[in-house]
Protein backbone atom coordinates (compact mmCIF):
# COMPACT_ATOMS: atom_id res chain seq x y z
CA UNK A 1 0.00 0.00 0.00
CA UNK A 2 1.10 3.57 -0.62
CA UNK A 3 3.35 4.73 2.21
CA UNK A 4 1.33 7.85 2.72
CA UNK A 5 -1.77 9.23 1.01
CA UNK A 6 -2.32 12.94 1.43
CA UNK A 7 -5.56 14.67 0.48
CA UNK A 8 -5.45 18.25 -0.75
CA UNK A 9 -8.91 19.83 -0.82
CA UNK A 10 -10.03 22.84 -2.84
CA UNK A 11 -13.28 24.79 -3.00
CA UNK A 12 -12.36 26.79 -6.10
CA UNK A 13 -11.33 25.35 -9.46
CA UNK A 14 -8.78 28.14 -9.93
CA UNK A 15 -7.04 27.19 -6.68
CA UNK A 16 -7.11 23.51 -7.71
CA UNK A 17 -5.54 24.32 -11.09
CA UNK A 18 -2.87 26.54 -9.49
CA UNK A 19 -1.83 23.85 -7.02
CA UNK A 20 -1.71 21.00 -9.53
CA UNK A 21 0.11 23.00 -12.20
CA UNK A 22 2.60 24.23 -9.59
CA UNK A 23 3.31 20.73 -8.26
CA UNK A 24 3.74 19.25 -11.75
CA UNK A 25 6.06 22.11 -12.76
CA UNK A 26 8.17 21.52 -9.64
CA UNK A 27 8.58 17.81 -10.47
CA UNK A 28 9.51 18.61 -14.08
CA UNK A 29 12.06 21.24 -13.03
CA UNK A 30 13.56 18.88 -10.44
CA UNK A 31 14.01 16.11 -13.03
CA UNK A 32 15.58 18.54 -15.52
CA UNK A 33 17.97 19.75 -12.81
CA UNK A 34 18.85 16.18 -11.80
CA UNK A 35 19.47 14.61 -15.20
CA UNK A 36 18.70 17.08 -17.95
CA UNK A 37 15.21 15.91 -18.84
CA UNK A 38 11.79 14.88 -17.56
CA UNK A 39 9.44 12.11 -18.71
CA UNK A 40 5.89 12.33 -17.38
CA UNK A 41 2.52 10.66 -18.00
CA UNK A 42 -0.62 12.80 -17.93
CA UNK A 43 -4.26 11.74 -17.76
CA UNK A 44 -6.53 12.60 -20.66
CA UNK A 45 -10.09 13.86 -20.59
CA UNK A 46 -11.78 17.17 -19.90
CA UNK A 47 -11.22 17.39 -16.12
CA UNK A 48 -7.47 18.21 -16.16
CA UNK A 49 -7.56 20.35 -19.35
CA UNK A 50 -7.52 23.69 -17.47
CA UNK A 51 -4.62 22.43 -15.35
CA UNK A 52 -2.63 21.68 -18.51
CA UNK A 53 -3.40 25.11 -19.99
CA UNK A 54 -1.96 26.70 -16.85
CA UNK A 55 1.01 24.33 -16.77
CA UNK A 56 1.84 25.13 -20.40
CA UNK A 57 2.19 28.80 -19.44
CA UNK A 58 4.85 28.00 -16.82
CA UNK A 59 8.48 28.96 -17.43
CA UNK A 60 9.79 25.45 -18.10
CA UNK A 61 12.46 24.32 -20.55
CA UNK A 62 9.84 22.37 -22.50
CA UNK A 63 12.33 21.05 -25.04
CA UNK A 64 13.64 18.81 -22.25
CA UNK A 65 10.20 17.40 -21.42
CA UNK A 66 8.63 14.23 -22.84
CA UNK A 67 4.92 13.62 -22.20
CA UNK A 68 2.97 10.41 -22.74
CA UNK A 69 -0.73 9.88 -22.05
CA UNK A 70 -1.48 7.53 -19.16
CA UNK A 71 -3.82 5.79 -21.60
CA UNK A 72 -5.57 6.31 -24.90
CA UNK A 73 -8.44 5.08 -27.01
CA UNK A 74 -7.51 3.10 -30.11
CA UNK A 75 -8.63 5.74 -32.60
CA UNK A 76 -6.73 7.72 -35.26
CA UNK A 77 -4.73 10.79 -34.25
CA UNK A 78 -6.98 13.82 -34.46
CA UNK A 79 -10.10 11.90 -33.41
CA UNK A 80 -12.07 13.74 -30.67
CA UNK A 81 -11.65 10.64 -28.45
CA UNK A 82 -7.83 10.73 -28.75
CA UNK A 83 -6.12 11.76 -25.51
CA UNK A 84 -2.75 12.38 -27.14
CA UNK A 85 -4.33 14.81 -29.60
CA UNK A 86 -5.48 17.06 -26.76
CA UNK A 87 -2.13 16.86 -24.98
CA UNK A 88 -0.31 17.58 -28.23
CA UNK A 89 -2.35 20.71 -28.95
CA UNK A 90 -1.43 22.08 -25.53
CA UNK A 91 2.24 21.13 -25.18
CA UNK A 92 3.79 20.64 -28.64
CA UNK A 93 3.60 24.41 -29.38
CA UNK A 94 5.69 24.91 -26.22
CA UNK A 95 8.41 22.60 -27.54
CA UNK A 96 7.63 19.44 -25.52
CA UNK A 97 7.74 16.00 -27.08
CA UNK A 98 4.32 14.35 -26.86
CA UNK A 99 4.52 10.63 -27.61
CA UNK A 100 1.42 8.74 -28.76
CA UNK A 101 0.62 5.31 -27.33
CA UNK A 102 -1.60 4.72 -30.36
CA UNK A 103 -0.48 5.72 -33.83
CA UNK A 104 -3.50 4.50 -35.80
CA UNK A 105 -6.84 2.73 -35.48
CA UNK A 106 -6.32 -1.03 -35.53
CA UNK A 107 -8.46 -4.11 -35.00
CA UNK A 108 -5.96 -6.08 -32.88
CA UNK A 109 -5.86 -4.13 -29.62
CA UNK A 110 -3.29 -6.49 -28.11
CA UNK A 111 -0.88 -5.76 -30.97
CA UNK A 112 -1.41 -2.02 -30.50
CA UNK A 113 -0.53 -2.47 -26.83
CA UNK A 114 2.66 -4.40 -27.67
CA UNK A 115 3.71 -1.62 -30.07
CA UNK A 116 3.11 1.01 -27.36
CA UNK A 117 5.12 -1.02 -24.86
CA UNK A 118 8.02 -1.24 -27.32
CA UNK A 119 7.85 2.52 -28.01
CA UNK A 120 8.12 3.33 -24.31
CA UNK A 121 11.41 1.44 -23.97
CA UNK A 122 13.05 4.36 -25.79
CA UNK A 123 12.52 6.72 -22.85
CA UNK A 124 14.00 7.18 -19.39
CA UNK A 125 12.35 4.90 -16.86
CA UNK A 126 10.81 4.99 -14.31
CA UNK A 127 8.58 7.94 -15.10
CA UNK A 128 9.22 11.12 -13.14
CA UNK A 129 5.50 11.61 -12.60
CA UNK A 130 2.19 9.89 -13.30
CA UNK A 131 -0.93 12.06 -12.96
CA UNK A 132 -4.02 9.87 -12.77
CA UNK A 133 -7.69 10.66 -13.03
CA UNK A 134 -10.46 8.32 -11.94
CA UNK A 135 -13.89 7.46 -13.29
CA UNK A 136 -16.91 7.26 -11.01
CA UNK A 137 -16.73 3.47 -11.52
CA UNK A 138 -13.25 3.44 -9.94
CA UNK A 139 -11.25 2.85 -13.13
CA UNK A 140 -7.98 4.73 -13.58
CA UNK A 141 -5.96 5.29 -16.76
CA UNK A 142 -7.70 2.60 -18.88
CA UNK A 143 -7.46 -0.08 -16.21
CA UNK A 144 -11.11 -1.14 -16.32
CA UNK A 145 -13.01 -4.20 -15.21
CA UNK A 146 -12.96 -6.68 -18.08
CA UNK A 147 -10.98 -9.58 -19.54
CA UNK A 148 -7.62 -7.76 -19.35
CA UNK A 149 -7.86 -6.43 -15.79
CA UNK A 150 -5.63 -9.08 -14.23
CA UNK A 151 -2.99 -8.68 -16.94
CA UNK A 152 -3.02 -4.89 -16.51
CA UNK A 153 -2.51 -5.22 -12.75
CA UNK A 154 -0.37 -8.35 -12.45
CA UNK A 155 1.43 -8.73 -15.78
CA UNK A 156 5.22 -8.87 -16.11
CA UNK A 157 6.93 -6.11 -14.10
CA UNK A 158 8.88 -4.97 -17.15
CA UNK A 159 5.71 -4.35 -19.18
CA UNK A 160 4.99 -0.66 -19.45
CA UNK A 161 1.85 -0.62 -21.58
CA UNK A 162 -0.74 -3.04 -22.92
CA UNK A 163 -3.93 -3.17 -24.93
CA UNK A 164 -7.16 -3.59 -22.95
CA UNK A 165 -10.83 -4.15 -23.74
CA UNK A 166 -13.14 -2.66 -21.09
CA UNK A 167 -16.22 -4.73 -20.30
CA UNK A 168 -18.70 -3.20 -20.44
CA UNK A 169 -17.47 -0.65 -22.98
CA UNK A 170 -18.04 2.92 -21.75
CA UNK A 171 -20.92 4.37 -23.82
CA UNK A 172 -19.14 7.72 -24.32
CA UNK A 173 -16.10 5.99 -25.89
CA UNK A 174 -16.98 2.40 -26.88
CA UNK A 175 -13.53 1.37 -28.14
CA UNK A 176 -10.53 -0.68 -26.99
CA UNK A 177 -7.71 1.13 -25.20
CA UNK A 178 -4.00 1.15 -24.55
CA UNK A 179 -2.97 1.89 -20.97
CA UNK A 180 0.09 2.11 -18.80
CA UNK A 181 0.30 -1.06 -16.74
CA UNK A 182 -0.31 -1.05 -13.01
CA UNK A 183 3.38 -1.85 -12.56
CA UNK A 184 4.47 1.13 -14.69
CA UNK A 185 2.25 3.44 -12.64
CA UNK A 186 3.40 2.01 -9.31
CA UNK A 187 7.07 2.38 -10.27
CA UNK A 188 6.82 6.13 -10.97
CA UNK A 189 8.92 8.52 -8.89
CA UNK A 190 5.85 10.62 -8.10
CA UNK A 191 2.14 9.82 -8.25
CA UNK A 192 -0.73 12.30 -8.15
CA UNK A 193 -4.48 11.86 -8.55
CA UNK A 194 -6.78 14.67 -9.70
CA UNK A 195 -10.52 14.24 -9.11
CA UNK A 196 -13.57 16.39 -8.50
CA UNK A 197 -16.96 15.94 -6.90
CA UNK A 198 -18.34 14.17 -3.82
CA UNK A 199 -19.21 10.96 -5.67
CA UNK A 200 -15.65 10.34 -6.83
CA UNK A 201 -14.24 11.16 -3.41
CA UNK A 202 -16.50 8.55 -1.83
CA UNK A 203 -15.43 5.90 -4.37
CA UNK A 204 -11.73 6.71 -3.93
CA UNK A 205 -11.96 6.61 -0.13
CA UNK A 206 -13.67 3.22 -0.32
CA UNK A 207 -11.08 1.89 -2.78
CA UNK A 208 -8.19 2.97 -0.55
CA UNK A 209 -9.81 1.41 2.54
CA UNK A 210 -10.38 -1.90 0.70
CA UNK A 211 -6.75 -2.12 -0.41
CA UNK A 212 -5.62 -5.09 -2.52
CA UNK A 213 -9.07 -6.75 -2.33
CA UNK A 214 -10.83 -3.66 -3.73
CA UNK A 215 -13.25 -4.25 -6.63
CA UNK A 216 -12.19 -0.83 -7.91
CA UNK A 217 -9.12 -0.81 -10.20
CA UNK A 218 -7.81 2.39 -8.54
CA UNK A 219 -7.77 0.61 -5.18
CA UNK A 220 -5.73 -2.26 -6.62
CA UNK A 221 -3.25 0.12 -8.27
CA UNK A 222 -2.72 2.10 -5.08
CA UNK A 223 -2.32 -1.10 -3.06
CA UNK A 224 0.71 -1.94 -5.22
CA UNK A 225 2.26 1.52 -4.85
CA UNK A 226 4.98 2.08 -2.30
CA UNK A 227 5.57 5.79 -2.79
CA UNK A 228 3.54 8.65 -1.24
CA UNK A 229 0.46 9.69 -3.20
CA UNK A 230 -1.01 13.20 -3.40
CA UNK A 231 -4.74 13.39 -4.10
CA UNK A 232 -5.94 16.79 -5.32
CA UNK A 233 -9.72 16.90 -4.83
CA UNK A 234 -11.95 19.71 -6.06
CA UNK A 235 -15.17 19.75 -4.04
pLDDT of residue 3: 64
pLDDT value for 107: 80
Looking at residue 227, what is its pLDDT? Answer: 87
How far apart are alpha carbons 152 and 181 in whole angstroms? 5
pLDDT of residue 19: 97
| Burial degree of 106 (CB within 10 A; 0-12, 13-18, 19+) | middle
Could you tell me the maximum CA-CA distance found in the chain, to the nearest angstrom? Answer: 44
Helices 83-91, 49-56: axis angle to 10 degrees equals: 30
pLDDT tens string, the chain, 235 residues long: the values are 656 899 999 999 999 999 999 999 999 999 999 999 999 999 998 889 999 999 999 999 999 999 999 999 999 999 999 999 999 999 999 999 999 999 776 789 999 999 999 999 999 999 999 999 999 999 999 999 899 999 999 999 899 999 999 999 988 899 999 999 999 999 999 999 999 999 999 999 999 999 999 999 999 999 999 889 999 999 9
Strand partners, 230: 6, 192
Query: Residues near 165 by Cβ (< 8 Å), separated by ≥ 6?
Result: 109, 146, 147, 148, 176, 177
Q: Global pTM?
A: 0.95
Nearest to 90 by CA among 121, 130, 33, 45: 45
Please answer whether residues 167 and 203 qualify as being in contact, where contact means their C-beta atoms are separated by less than 8 angstroms: no
Res 39: pLDDT: 98
Predicted pLDDT of residue 1 = 60
* Interatomic CA distance for residues 193 and 199, integer angstroms: 15
27, 39, 91, 118 from 123: Cα distances, Å? 17, 7, 18, 10
Residue 8, Cβ neighbours under 10 Å: how many?
Answer: 16
Question: CA angle at residue 73 from 54 to 68, to 5 degrees?
Answer: 45
Give the pLDDT confidence score for residue 230 in this predicted structure. 97
pLDDT of residue 2: 59
Say if residue 174 is exposed, middle or buried (CB neighbours under 10 Å; 0-12, 13-18, 19+).
exposed
Q: For the chain, percent helix, then strand, then coil, each to nearest 5?
A: 40, 20, 40
Selection from 72, 66, 122, 53 nearest residue 95 by Cα: 66
Amino acid sequence: MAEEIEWWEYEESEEWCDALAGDIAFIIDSAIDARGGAVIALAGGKTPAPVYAQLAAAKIDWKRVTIVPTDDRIVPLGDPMSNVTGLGKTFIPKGARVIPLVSEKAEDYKAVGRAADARLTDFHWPLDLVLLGMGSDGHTASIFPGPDLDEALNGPKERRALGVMPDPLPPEAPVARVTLSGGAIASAKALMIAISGAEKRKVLEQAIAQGPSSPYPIGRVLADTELPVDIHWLA
